[in-house]
């Protein structure tokens, strides 16, 4: 797949799955703008790596809290003006906080629902809005959202996370229908567990073997395998797959 001359925004693009997505686009010729929330050192390190991978373009990093609607619109405008446009937006940034009913008080329950929905659902909805307006004016584009297997399977420890990802899937389906006339194609990737820094402790614990055994492949996904599905949905030729949800869960949950 060739993304030469494509301009891509990847939220949460400097680490974890987002890092693999940013890298995959850069390797295939794209110019990448990565949005991160806190870890500037890691973001700068990733930027250097991306520049080495694809020195043809000036790649960019932007710090922003995408759960803030004003910051989201501002960041989108900054990305577009620095890139000189945008062809592909990947809503990858997300948070997941444990808050099972039996472990939190009502105040924390409220707080975690609000934070999770603001980051995982409203943030992407706002970025989709900004991106769509731009892409309508430019004659088309692609949006890929990163959801989760938990949208289908449930998330007993993180109910707000599961609901936010189910909402994100529904958002992608709605937009795929309403934006198709504008040649804007919207897809969703729903990974199961992925090998990132965040899952490292769990996978090293006594629960790790059970998690690996959920898949007949006996392992969890690599971030590059999630990126591969993103590339497909963003690629030329995938137009008729708009509205689809690609599971990247090693057959650990079939629906
Ligand atoms: P991660 O924590 O390593 O990375 C998340 C990224 O999102 C970070 O770069 C962070 O800066 C950014 N981010 C978080 N909140 C933000 C905010 N308010 N504003 C701007 N940026 C923000 O996580 P990851 O494991 O790489 O996950 C990436 C995506 O994949 C998430 O949406 C996650 O829900 C989803 N996912 C992950 C797994 C997994 O096992 N790791 C499984 C299924 C789905």
Sorted by where each begins, the domain ranges of the chain are 7-193+222-248
Cα(53) to centroid of ligand 1, in Å? 23
pLDDT score, position 13: 98
Atom in ligand 1 nearest the alpha carbon of residue 223: 26
Pocket of ligand 1 contains residue 172 by CB under 6 Å: no
pTM of the model: 0.98
Write out the catalytic residue numbers.
161
Whether 197 has a pLDDT exceeding 90, the answer reads no
The reported pLDDT for the residue numbered 169 is 98
pLDDT digits (tens, 9 = 90+) for 1-18: 899 999 999 999 999 999
Q: Is pLDDT of 174 > 90?
A: yes
Q: Exposed (0-12), middle (13-18) or buried (19+): which is 172, by Cβ within 10 Å?
A: buried
Please tell me the distance between residue 11's alpha carbon and the centre of ligand 1 in angstroms: 9
% the chain with pLDDT above 70 = 100
If one counts every other C-beta atom within 10 angstroms of the C-beta of residue 63, the result is: 14
Order of all β-strands in the sheet with 7-11: 60-63, 31-36, 7-11, 88-91, 141-146, 184-191, 245-248
Provide the 10 A C-beta neighbour count for residue 217: 12
CATH number of 7-193+222-248: 3.40.50.720
What is the CA 72 to chain-centroid distance, rounded? Answer: 15
Instruction: State yes or no: pLDDT of 198 exceeds 80.
Output: no
User: Which residue's CA is the closest to the ligand 1 atom numbered 6?
Assistant: 12
- Give the tens place of pLDDT for each residue, 85-137: 999 999 999 999 999 999 999 999 999 999 999 999 999 999 999 999 999 99
């Amino acid at each position: 797949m060739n993304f030469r001359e494509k301009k891509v925004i990847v939220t949460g693009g400097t680490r974890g799955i987002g890092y693999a997505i940013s890298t995959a686009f850069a390797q295939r010729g794209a110019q990448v703008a990565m949005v991160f929330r806190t870890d500037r050192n890691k973001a700068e390190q990733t930027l250097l790596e991306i520049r080495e991978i694809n020195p043809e373009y000036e790649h960019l990093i932007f710090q922003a809290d995408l759960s803030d609607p004003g910051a989201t619109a501002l960041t989108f405008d900054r990305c577009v003006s620095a890139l000189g446009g945008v062809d592909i937006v990947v809503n990858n940034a997300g948070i997941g906080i444990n808050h099972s009913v039996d472990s939190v008080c009502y105040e924390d329950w409220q707080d975690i629902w609000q934070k999770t929905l603001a980051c995982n659902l409203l943030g992407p909805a706002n970025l989709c809005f900004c991106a769509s307006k731009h892409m309508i004016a430019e004659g088309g584009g692609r949006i890929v959202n990163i959801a989760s297997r938990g949208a289908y399977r449930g998330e007993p420890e993180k109910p707000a996370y599961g609901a936010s990802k189910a909402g994100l899937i529904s958002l992608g389906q709605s937009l795929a229908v309403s934006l198709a006339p504008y040649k804007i194609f919207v897809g969703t990737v729903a990974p199961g567990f992925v090998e990132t820094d965040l899952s490292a402790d769990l996978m090293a614990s006594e629960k790790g073997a059970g998690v690996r055994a959920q898949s007949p492949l006996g392992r969890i996904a690599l971030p590059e395998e999630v990126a591969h599905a993103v590339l497909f949905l963003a690629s030329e030729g995938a137009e008729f797959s708009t509205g689809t949800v690609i599971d990247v869960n090693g057959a650990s949950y079939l629906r």
